[in-house]
Amino acid sequence: MTVRILLLEDSSFDAELIGEHLTKAPFDCLIERVVTRDEFADALRGGEHDLILSDYALPAFDGLTALDMARERVPDTPFIFISGMFGEETATETLKRGATDYVLKQRMHRLPAAVGRALQEAATRRERRLAEERTRLLVAELSHRVKNTLATVVAIAHQTFAKSTTLEEFRPAFMGRIETLAEAHALLFKADWNAVSIQEILGAALAPFSQTRDAVTLVGEPVAIPPGQALTLNLIVHELATNACKFGALSVPDGRVLVRWHEERGEERTCVMFSWEEFGGPPVAPPRERGFGSVLIQRAITYEFDGESTLEFRQTGVVCKLCMPLKTPPRLH
């Protein structure tokens, strides 16, 4: 470890004495000595020093002014006074002004320990400040995510209520959607809110329909999508599977669902192409009014993610196709 020290000292003899005592420190020291105010100011502008040592009394330039300059330009750099004329009142004043410590020239043997202590305190302050900054960022991010989640829950509640005729009809539909959202959040938490593989998303969304597992075929390459799209895709697949169990291919023994996805790279953007196709179920007719799934697909994919979506009610079965753009397409290997 090499400690870069800026030394403000007009006496060559004292500078050599300081350098000699610092050789006894348990670290290497690289000392840059300056004498005048201009030299000191130029050195501060470089901002490349780990520690500042300064004489208190200088010709036409005093140590307190040097301390004020250092606190203004490099406030995190420890500043130690070295003087032969420190009284208790002066020492107290320098510490109040922001000095880290002081060493009397008559007790120069204290210098290595004082330097080591000052560097350790500075490192502790930096770590604490970084920890506080990380905490602030985490709290802000958590607040943002909670706000978005609550907005999603409100939207789910509103849409579910609008499509339900009785409380008995509302309750299972709403709870199923909330549980699906919770499973998706757990999956994203496990992934530290990074991109999640579509395979994992489908596994979480289809978990409540395990009795129909053999009727659903998943075909796709290892592709991951961002958290926001992962939550939406999870809810969309849950809605498709719920409707398929009630009215579509998964409501009969011979019905089947084919789920496919792949990444499609173009010149202007990269998209995840996703499709859900039912066949072998009862004949399908378009609903008289849009359900929760239809609204979710259109609003989320088209409006929020600037993608494309189609939901067809073919007589042979429901077919849903999505194009979800990726800003920075992540791939799994």
> Which residue has better confidence, 162 or 116?
116
Written as six digits, the tokens of 159 are: 């849409």
What is the C-alpha to C-alpha distance for residues 98 and 76, in angstroms, rounded to an integer?
Answer: 10
Least confident of 27-36, 129-138, 157-166, 231-240: 157-166
Written as six digits, the tokens of 58 are: 């200088």
CB count in 10 Å sphere of residue 220: 18
What is the C-alpha to C-alpha distance for residues 97 and 82, in angstroms, rounded to an integer?
Answer: 15
Task: Tell me what the pLDDT averaged over the chain comes to.
Answer: 85
Average pLDDT over residues 320-326: 91
pLDDT-based confidence at 148, cuts 50/70/90?
Answer: low
pLDDT tens-digit readout, 278-288? 999 998 888 87
pLDDT tens-digit readout, 53-69? 999 888 778 889 999 99
Which are the contacts of 238, defined by CB distance < 8 A and separation ≥ 6?
A: 176, 177, 180, 205, 208
Q: Which of 253, 225, 207, 243 is nearest to 320 (CA)?
A: 243
Written as six digits, the tokens of 82 are: 């070295």
- Domains of the chain (ranges; CATH) run 2-128 (3.40.50.2300), 164-326 (3.30.565.10)
Question: What H or E segment, with its residue span, contains residue 4?
Answer: strand 2-8
Q: Vertex 207, ends 276 and 224: CA angle to 5°?
A: 60
Which are the contacts of 297, defined by CB distance < 8 A and separation ≥ 6?
A: 236, 309, 311, 320, 322
Q: Vertex 152, ends 317 and 318: CA angle to 5°?
A: 5
CA 221 to chain centre: 27
Q: Exposed/middle/buried for 12, CB within 10 Å: 0-12, 13-18, 19+?
A: exposed
Q: Which of 78, 77, 71, 56 is nearest to 9 (CA)?
A: 56
Q: Which of 79, 72, 68, 64 is nearest to 45 (CA)?
A: 72
pLDDT-based confidence at 1, cuts 50/70/90?
Answer: confident
What is the C-alpha to C-alpha distance for residues 292 and 332, in angstroms, rounded to an integer?
Answer: 31
Least confident of 74-78, 192-196, 218-222, 310-314: 192-196
> Which residue has better confidence, 177 or 73?
73
- pLDDT, position 138: 65
- pLDDT, position 149: 65
